[in-house]
Amino acid sequence: MFDCQLYLISPLDVSGTFPDRLERALDAGPVAAFQLRLKDVDAHEAARLAEPLQRICATREVAFIVNDSISLAKRLGADGVHLGQGDGAVADARAELGRDAQIGVTCHASRHLAMDAGEAGADYVAFGAFFPSPTKATEHRADLETLTWWQDIFEIPCVAIGGITPDNGRPLVEAGADFLAVSHAVWGGDEAAAVRAFAKILGGD
């Protein structure tokens, strides 16, 4: 039995009816975490947009993670923060957010960066992109072997990200990914149907 879970990443536009879409997605099947990814939005507006989404996640016991910003994560009392390579140190995030915060680090296709993140105290590392992504330009390509290598040596969970769909995600699960991080595959169409489709490939049957 595989033990891989779904990690949803928001589209950049979470205004309008998006809270309703998030509810539909979370109610359609098991989701472990939701990451709020905003760009070029000031802290006050980000907090306003986050409030209903954070509440929706809390009522369903889904971890609410903020992308990039340690300060916004602290302001919101989020469950954690996801750091890119230029978004600050794990130690700084830990000092600001506390020992219970979930801190993840983007490691691209680099085993070295992942080991550094683990040694620094990250709660998970993210490898990718595994496939071309319509959400973000693909600068780094990771391979299945990296997931298996990590799983064989380290206890810290690893996240696979980048262009993952229900049709191509199963090999990542089999290779050892603890989480599949997805955005466009869910929000680019019927979010409830997509979550149900992912649920089918995350199990071990």
Q: pLDDT tens, 56-65?
A: 999 999 999 9
Task: Specify the number of domains making up the chain.
Answer: 1
The confidence band for 179, taking pLDDT boundaries of 50, 70 and 90, is: very high
- The span from the CA of 167 to the CA of 142, in Å, is 18
| Strand, helix or coil for residue 118 | helix
Domain that holds residue 60: 5-202
Mean pLDDT, rounded, for 73-78: 98
Query: What pLDDT is stored for residue 205 in this prediction?
Result: 47
pLDDT in tens, 106-116: 999 999 999 99
Query: What pLDDT is stored for residue 139 in this prediction?
Result: 76
Average pLDDT, rounded, for the chain: 95
Query: What pLDDT is stored for residue 160 in this prediction?
Result: 98
The alpha carbon of 175 is separated from its chain's Cα centroid by a whole number of angstroms, namely 18
CATH code of residue 74: 3.20.20.70
